[in-house]
Every structure is written in C-alpha cells, then in structure tokens.
Amino acid sequence: MTRNPNPRPNRGRPQRQMPVPATNEQRTRYPVLKTTRTPSGQVLDWVPIEAQQRQGKIASPPPARAQAPEPTRAAATFEMHDPNIERGPAGTVPILRRDFSRLGGTGHPRKRKVDGRRLTPRADKMPSAAPDPFGYYHATSAQWATCYGCEAVLSMWDPYTEFSADHSIAQFGMQNYDNPQLQSLEAGWEVCSDQYSDYLPHLFTYYTTNGYTQDGDNLGGYNRDVAGWVQYDANVFPGILINGTSTYGGNQDVITIKFQLWQGNWWFQAQGIWMGYYPASLFTGGQGGAALGDHAEWVAFWGEVYSSLADPTQTTTYMGSGNFAESGWTWSAYESNTQIQTDGNGTMADSNGSQSAENTAMYDIQSQMQSGSSWASYFWFGGPGKG
C-alpha cells in the first residue's frame, strides 16, 4: 500500500504509472492475436470475438436509444476514442490485461459486500451507523422494486484517494435475494491505484453470484479479471480510462450508463455504446428459474469510499468531488436521471429511492426524487472524509 503521490487533489492529474503487465489466465483462455499498449499504459490483449463463447455465438444487443446531455453538461469520452491508438485485427475485441503483482499476491482485488437490505433505510429516517463492512462509506439512494435494468447520468470527477488501496466510486447496482446468497450487478466509475495502476477514473463493472464471498471464474469479480463478461464492442471495455472530468465552478462532464436484461443477457451500455454483457445463466446456473438471471428486486445509485486505514474515520479520501452535497451545482458530485426498467420491454420509470449515509460528517447525500425537471430523479453526494 502506497500513499497517493499527488498532495494537491483535484488540481491536475498526477503522472501516470506504467504498469508491468502480469501473465494471467486470459492469455491461455483465449487465442490472443495481438497485444497493444495504450498511451496511458494499459495493456490490451486482442482476441477473436467469437472465441469468448464455446459455440462461437455472440448475442445481439438491445435496440439503441439516442441520448444527448444538456448544453450545460459535456459527455466524457474514453481513451480508445482516439482513432490513432493502435488496435487489434478486424473481428477482435480488447481484453484489459491486469497487473496482479500490485496486489501483493492476493490474486484478484476483492470488492466490498454491499447488501441492499442494510443500505435501504426507512423512508422517514437517514441512518448514521458504523460502516459495515469496516472501512466502507456510502451515500445511497435505494429502493425495493422488481426491475429489469437501470440507468443514470453520473458526473465525472477525479477524486483524491489517500492510499493506493483506497477507492472512490460513483455507481449503480441491482440485487436479487431469491437464493440463500444475494446476487448483484454493479457498474460506474472508480479511482483505485491498486486496481488500475494509476490515480485516474476508470469505467468498471462487477458481479457476484454468491454474496461477495468468493471471486473467480463465473463466480464474480471485476471487469474481465475473471470469466463471466462477454465483450461486444471493439473499442470500449470494462476498466478503460475515462477522459474528461468536471472542474470546480466550471465545466461539468458526465457519463451515462445503463444495464438492461435483454434476451437472456444483462447488457451494459456506456455513452450509448453497448459494450458487452453478462449471461443471465451466470446467476441461474444455466437451469433457468428465478434469481438475478430473471430480475432484480433492489436497485440503488450511490457514491462509495473505501479507506485502508486502521481507523477509517481519519481518512482524507474524497467521495465525488470532495465537497459535501450542500455545495450543489458545479461543486458537488451528482447522479441524475436515475431510472429503473419496469418490464422486459425496456419501459423506464424515474427512481424513487430513500437516502442513507453512514457518517454524514464525512460524506453526505441530498436527493430530489421525481423532480419534474430535466434531471428527473437526482441527488448530490460527496465529502472530504475527516475534513
């Protein structure tokens, strides 16, 4: 665990650290036709798209729905949007090669246990409780609802994280509790040096089939670190560097993300691009039936911080912009146009979540559900940690 070398958070990006790629399972799992390195130092293995599935059949995505940010908000881009970056042969897709050596021999980075049954408060109360699990703080808008997808506009920031093992996240997630252990799908942007070898925001996806108890192939894990995710797009992939972050009192960049259950697969979209999917069979064991392979029953939108300190109440890791929710437009982080999919046909409805936060002296949230404005349901969130 190392301390963030940038002592002045959100005042320009720190120098990128070039990862030393480690050999991992994907190089033997799929035929790698070419390996390239992006300008930021990410190493990509390019594999034939059909090689990801045993029968070579890749699913087709849902119909696209055109979206455009308001004039006051700019759409962030991804590193691979630069046409001059080297790519693989036609018919291949990129898989990010992870540098597991940074994790001290732990194998895969573990995500926290997020249980919606704990994070969803009574409508009349914002709880303030000890973080559970230890070291994790949330600012959450959550609701119980049978749903088949969710969508949100996330403001982009480049939050300071105190140590390499710390993370700062803006995301959404869905869970199902039909089985003895909860199942979950999550996505958003994340800053975590141990995860990405830099202190910059990256797009991430995550899933668990077993209540976060074990990561591994077809069990759960980040991005493409484990088997499960099927890559569809030839440019944008889980773990990719995001270009464009908001500035205090100035330009506001956003990213629009979406999960949709479509024809037996949980498809994920970012900035209008269907990137890939998680087969619903991951959650049903290929046997059909209920569980997350059929629907979600809890959905939430939230900011999150993990502190690796022995006393996490002393952390100076930022959530969002590092400003509290009360600072508002151009100063606080937000998630807007938060929606849930209410049927299998793609019908969307504005979310109506209840807000919660473990320690509002460190990180807080202010929500406005079903506002009737162009932002629909939204909330401000964030904070500087101990201040």
Give residue 122's pLDDT.
39
Where are the extended beta strands (E) located within 157-225? 167-176, 183-191, 202-208, 220-222
Average pLDDT in the 203-212 region?
96
pLDDT digits (tens, 9 = 90+) for 79-122: 999 999 999 999 999 999 986 655 443 444 455 556 666 555 53
pTM exceeds cut of 0.85? yes
Give residue 19's pLDDT.
37
Starting at the earlier edge strand, list the strands of the sheet with 296-306.
220-222, 202-208, 183-191, 167-176, 296-306, 136-147, 354-357
More confidently predicted of 337 and 107: 337
- Phi-psi bin for 289: left (phi > 0), alpha (psi -120 to 50), beta? left
- Phi-psi bin for 272: left (phi > 0), alpha (psi -120 to 50), beta? left
Distance in angstroms (rounded) separating the CA atoms of residues 71 and 280: 37
* pLDDT over 70 (residue 370): yes
* pLDDT over 80 (residue 17): no
Q: Which of 68-82, 180-194, 270-284, 295-309 has the lowest mean pLDDT?
A: 68-82
Question: Which of 237, 226, 225 is closest to 38 using CA atoms?
Answer: 237
List the domain boundaries for the chain: 26-60+72-382
**C-beta of residue 381 within 8 angstroms of C-beta of residue 365:** yes
**C-beta of residue 374 within 8 angstroms of C-beta of residue 380:** no
* pLDDT over 50 (residue 372): yes
Question: Which of 241, 205, 270 is closest to 39 using CA atoms?
Answer: 241
Give residue 28's pLDDT.
60
Distance in angstroms (rounded) separating the CA atoms of residues 211 and 280: 16
Give residue 56's pLDDT.
82
pLDDT digits (tens, 9 = 90+) for 29-80: 789 999 999 999 999 999 999 999 988 899 999 987 766 567 788 999 999 9
Cis check for the bond before 133: say yes or no (omega within 30 of 0): yes
